[in-house]
Amino acid sequence: MPLWLTEEDHRQIAKLYAEAKRLTETTETIYNVDHEVPLQGKSVSGLHVPENLRVITHFENASKHNKFDEEVISQKYFDWLKSRGL
């Protein structure tokens, strides 16, 4: 997790983990917090930041195998990186 994350960033991350836990407890499906751009991808590595996280089922997450579709990836994440000068 980058040291420069704000308190609001930390709150947003905590909310995502809480939502994954809530969904897992209230459904018959396990949910995970996924990094849209993997932390250790082959061509690019993402960050543990709110804009790179989403709640998806464990099955969907395990099916990704540290891959992502560059054409489908959220523009929001790349815009966020740019806004931070990264």
Q: Structurally, how many domains does the chain consist of?
A: 1
Note whether residue 47 is domain-resident. yes
Instruction: Say whether 61 sits in a helix, a strand or coil.
Output: helix
Place of tokens 């891959």: 67
Higher pLDDT, 29 or 51: 29
The answer to pTM > 0.85 is no
Q: What is the pLDDT of residue 53?
A: 92
pLDDT at 45 over 90: no
Between CA 83 and CA 62 the distance in angstroms is: 31
**Structural domain for 52, as ranges:** 7-83
Higher pLDDT, 1 or 3: 3
pLDDT at 42 over 60: yes
Note whether residue 2 is domain-resident. no
Note whether residue 66 is domain-resident. yes
Note whether residue 13 is domain-resident. yes
pLDDT in tens, 25-38: 999 999 999 988 88
Q: What is the pLDDT of residue 3?
A: 81
Note whether residue 43 is domain-resident. yes
